[in-house]
Structure 1
Amino acid sequence: MTPSTADQPQMPVEEFERIARTAETVRLEFLNGRLEVKPVPDGDHGAIVMWLLRQCMLHRPELALYPEQGLLTETYRNGRARPDGALAPLDHFVGHGEWASADGVLMTLEVTSHDRDTDRRDRVEKRDGYAGTDIPVYLLVDRDAETLVVYSEPRGGKYMSRLTHPYGATVKLPHPVGITLETEKLKDYTR
Structure 2
Amino acid sequence: MEFDALILAGGRSSRLGGVPKSQLLYDGATLLALSLSASAGAGATVVVGPDPGTLPAGVLSCREEPAFAGPAAAIAAGLAALDGARGPLRASMTLILACDMPKAAQAVAALRAALAHDGPHPTKTEGVMAVSPDGRKQPLAGFYGTAALKRAVGEMESGGGLTGASVFALLARLDVRAVTVPEGATDDVDTWDDATALGVSRQGS
TM-score computed with the length of structure 2 as normaliser: 0.27
Between 1 and 2, higher relative CO (CA 8 Å, sep ≥ 6) is seen in: 2
Normalized per residue, the structure richer in helix is: 2
TM-score computed with the length of structure 1 as normaliser: 0.29
